[in-house]
Structure 1
Amino acid sequence: MTTLSAITSNELNFLVFRYLQESGFTHAAFALGYEAGINKTSIDGNMIPPGALITFVQKGLQYIELEANLESDKLEGDDDFSFLQPLDLITKDVSELQRIMKDKKQNLLKEREAEKERREKDRDKQERDRDKVEKVKELEREKDREKQPKDQKESFAEDLDDNKAKGKSEENGVCGGPEPMDITPTPQLVASDIHSSEVTILEGHGSEVFACAWSPTSSLLASGSGDSTARIWTIPDGPCGSNMLPPQVHVLKHFKGRTNEKSKDVTTLDWNGEGTLLATGSYDGQARIWSKDGELKNTLAKHKGPIFSLKWNKKGDFLLSGSVDKTAIVWDTRTWECRQQFEFHSAPALDVDWRNNVSFATCSTDNMIYVCKIGEGRPVKAFAGHQGEVNAIKWDPSGSLLASCSDDGTAKIWSLKHDKCLHDFRDHLKEIYTIRWSPTSSGTNNPNQQLILASASFDSTIKLWEVEHGSLLYSLNGHRQPVYSVAFSPNGQFLASGSLDQCLHLWSVKEGKLIKTYSGGGGIFEVCWNKEGNKIAACFSNSTVCVIDFRM
């Protein structure tokens, strides 16, 4: 009679493990079980008995089967996700394992759905926030699809001169303004083209250039773009043109790494009064402070939405920002801390403007305008009257009158002494995007000239308003597409305008006539004059900035 030899549990484990391995079972569950059985080690702190491999193998086979059942509806991107822990495999039966896997999968699906819903809401909000910018981009794209030939432009210019003599432009269907009330008529000026050889084109931006501003004390020009950068250009003295020396440039990156980030598009910028610091507002909700040499000094992060407006007060001790998050923030420039956050609007704030060093106004897509003061917990004044989004607000040079313009097609003038507007200008046919006061009247360098308000509209016209009586002086009808920006010269005698029709026009304020024009390579988002009044900058949708000499 043959005696059976004894076999240890380790030997049994090894025989089973080798059998399974040679049969093609290479799942990690078997290897883990074997190691646990051989070495009497623990899983998650629990000791595994030496003879546990047989049960463990059974669990492993069942786990493979469960995985196979789930393979058909496996969650995308979850290749490394583990529904079961090793301890589960040796301590729970199949029904428990199935319940665990089902519960964990359902929880994961719920989390994914919640995350997806949150991302969709964020994406929808971002789309709503970008509405203003996208509206302009769409108009520009439409313009690109139907670019007019050059001879058509020349024909239009000839027709325009004839129509201007009649005080009317039939081309765009907008009536011209009345004869000036108290301005002596003079012979009509003839517009002249500005040749490209007389223009310096600044290249380097990788996307639309939304904003530009001259330093108030030097020849530095700042520009902000959709490429997530701002740039500070040093414009050489002397005439502009192709022979001008290449300007020195500092690139102000609003992102980290090698590639730009669309969430950091530069939407607005402003120099302090001394020209030593540049503030930029970005689509990421942060304001950044830069030296004139392009060094990042501070990052102000409190807003929870894109910043659409940013202004220094005259003294330079406070910086004001307005955001899509519905709030305005006053920043103390000595500490760069938030001095006060104003939360009065029920919708995105589109523009802010200082009245003096301690009080300011804000406007919003909620159709409201609020006048606020540092230290006050409630608005000093609330102006209601617009029936559409209020796109821009501006205080006159004395700080006594506030002008506003809206998608309702009106421009209004307000006073803190009255609850209703003093003047309600309704001659535009479409949305009014921007307004500007002339640097004239008492308290300015041009005290003997009357105060004028310019309004620029999507109806392709600019209107000049006499403020004292609230009457229309001129309707400037030279553009063929929405006018996005206007700027008075420092002496108040000339007006520059930029349109999505790709044209920069220069007007005589006294005559209400077009005197010079330049046709660029894209829609114009902003125009500005240097402090001497002899150079004009314009930023374009084709990623360029142009600088033009102005001499009469």
Structure 2
Amino acid sequence: MMSLISADSGDSTARIWTIADGPSGTSAQTSAPRPLVLKHFKGKTNEKSKDVTTLDWNGEGTLLATGSYDGQARIWSKDGELKNTLNKHKGPIFSLKWNKKGDCLLSGSVDKTAIIWDAKTGDVKQQFEYHAPTLDVDWRNNVSFATCSTDKMIYVCKLGESRPVKSYAGHQDEVNAIKWDPTGTLLASCSDDFTAKEIYTIKWSPTGPGTNNVNQQLVLASASFDATIKLWDIEKGAQLVSLTSHSEPVYSVAFSPSGEYLASGSFDKCLHIWSVKDGSLVKTYRGSGGIFEVCWNKEGDKVAACFSNNTVCVLDFRL
């Protein structure tokens, strides 16, 4: 099966790669043809402002959104054409997500706001300002979403409402990431509080009730600064497996649409593909910089990844 992988970066570019077939660790896998480059800046600019910090495919796999340290969100076609630039935030964007319908894009910024954008026109539908710096956002459905922040709070918000519809104040330190389960009934969060080794991000599998993979078990993945990834049985509250091939902090994980595979990106410059069933390492791609974020497209044949050397790559490979 052919696959594409996307990733965040820092030379102010996004890149689309085609990766040749080959078993894990082969030269065919770790080298690639000349990529399609998605340039975020022209000319000289402040080095820090160039970092591409987050990205997300729309549900159809036709558009890739990227968020940058310059406070701008950008929408690209799968062929690398810049379709729109969204200018409203006044600080770095750390998270952005498409809603399931694909008509809205949600972004969260250090400027203490979250914005819902009209994906077609680029207009602001609504700007929400409830937090300190916003670290993560996640849609519950097509009109409501959750946000989390350095202020230890989690808010559930809704398009058209001027105040949060629900607030959660249980954490004792900044909340790094939040994720709704596929049904929108469970909200998972991870924080720096009361942990020996900080958890950086979490993801639900696209399996179980309310998904296309209804007969598969719902799994929660967590990634940590201790370089490990853990898969959890939520009903039992038990660890299923610990994935330990990374050598530096793991900043992002993403399940394939089938729920069979998990992609992980680390500052060890490796993007790993794991089997969820048995925890085996299926494939590895080694880049030239640390990886901030990874995400799959709808078909499960592409994974995008953001690298710390200022590149965004969309990788195509066969498992």
Same fold (TM over 0.5): yes
- Deviation, 1:374, is 0.4
Counterpart pick for 1:327 among 106, 109, 113: 113
Q: Larger deviation: 500-509 or 428-437?
A: 500-509
Q: TM-score if structure 2 supplies the norm length?
A: 0.84
Correspondence 1:232-271 to 2 at 5 A: 232-233=16-17, 235=18, 239=21, 247=33, 249-257=35-43, 259-262=44-47, 263-271=49-57
Compared with structure 1, are the counterparts of its residues 227 and 532 closer, same or farther at alpha carbon in structure 2 (3 Å cutoff)? same
1:487 to 2:254 alignment: yes
Which residue of the partner structure matches residue 471 of structure 1?
238
- Deviation, 1:473, is 2.6
Q: TM-score if structure 1 supplies the norm length?
A: 0.51
Which residue of the partner structure matches residue 188 of structure 2?
403
Assess if the C-alpha contact under 8 Å between 1:437 and 1:453 holds in 2: yes
Alpha-carbon distance in 1 for matches of 2:122, 2:289: 37
* AA of the residue aligned to 1:301: N
Alpha-carbon distance in 1 for matches of 2:106, 2:6: 19
Assess if the C-alpha contact under 8 Å between 2:51 and 2:68 holds in 1: yes
* Partner secondary structure for residue 280 of structure 2: strand
Counterpart pick for 1:303 among 86, 89, 95: 89
Identical aligned residues as a percent? 72
* AA of the residue aligned to 1:329: I
Q: Whose Rg is larger?
A: 1
Which residue of the partner structure matches residue 461 of structure 1?
228
CA displacement, residues 62-116 of structure 1 (integer Å, 9 cap, x when unaligned): xxxxxxxxxxxxxxxxxxxxxxxxxxxxxxxxxxxxxxxxxxxxxxxxxxxxxxx
* Partner secondary structure for residue 231 of structure 1: strand
Alpha-carbon distance in 2 for matches of 1:467, 1:371: 22
- Consecutive unaligned residues in structure 1, runs of 5 or more: 1-217, 410-427
Which residue of the partner structure matches residue 80 of structure 2?
294
- Deviation, 1:449, is 1.3
Which residue of the partner structure matches residue 145 of structure 1?
none
Alpha-carbon distance in 2 for matches of 1:515, 1:297: 36
Correspondence 1:328-367 to 2 at 5 A: 328-345=114-131, 347-367=132-152
Correspondence 1:18-417 to 2 at 5 A: 222-233=6-17, 235=18, 239=21, 247=33, 249-257=35-43, 259-262=44-47, 263-345=49-131, 347-408=132-193
* AA of the residue aligned to 1:438: S
Alpha-carbon distance in 2 for matches of 1:272, 1:296: 15
Alpha-carbon distance in 2 for matches of 1:463, 1:274: 29
- Deviation, 1:224, is 3.8
Compared with structure 1, are the counterparts of its residues 459 and 385 closer, same or farther at alpha carbon in structure 2 (3 Å cutoff)? same
Number of aligned pairs?
311
- Consecutive unaligned residues in structure 2, runs of 5 or more: none
Which residue of the partner structure matches residue 153 of structure 1?
none
CA displacement, residues 30-54 of structure 1 (integer Å, 9 cap, x when unaligned): xxxxxxxxxxxxxxxxxxxxxxxxx
Correspondence 1:421-436 to 2 at 5 A: 429-436=196-203
CA displacement, residues 443-467 of structure 1 (integer Å, 9 cap, x when unaligned): 2221111111011111232222211
Alpha-carbon distance in 2 for matches of 1:355, 1:391: 18
Compared with structure 1, are the counterparts of its residues 430 and 329 closer, same or farther at alpha carbon in structure 2 (3 Å cutoff)? same
Assess if the C-alpha contact under 8 Å between 1:502 and 1:522 holds in 2: yes
* AA of the residue aligned to 1:264: K
Assess if the C-alpha contact under 8 Å between 1:458 and 1:483 holds in 2: yes
Whichever structure has more helix as a proportion of its residues is 1
Compared with structure 1, are the counterparts of its residues 497 and 379 closer, same or farther at alpha carbon in structure 2 (3 Å cutoff)? same
Compared with structure 1, are the counterparts of its residues 289 and 431 closer, same or farther at alpha carbon in structure 2 (3 Å cutoff)? same
Whichever structure has more strand as a proportion of its residues is 2
* AA of the residue aligned to 1:271: W
Compared with structure 1, are the counterparts of its residues 292 and 380 closer, same or farther at alpha carbon in structure 2 (3 Å cutoff)? same
* Partner secondary structure for residue 216 of structure 2: coil
* AA of the residue aligned to 1:277: L
- Deviation, 1:522, is 4.7
Alpha-carbon distance in 1 for matches of 2:217, 2:13: 39
Assess if the C-alpha contact under 8 Å between 2:107 and 2:137 holds in 1: yes
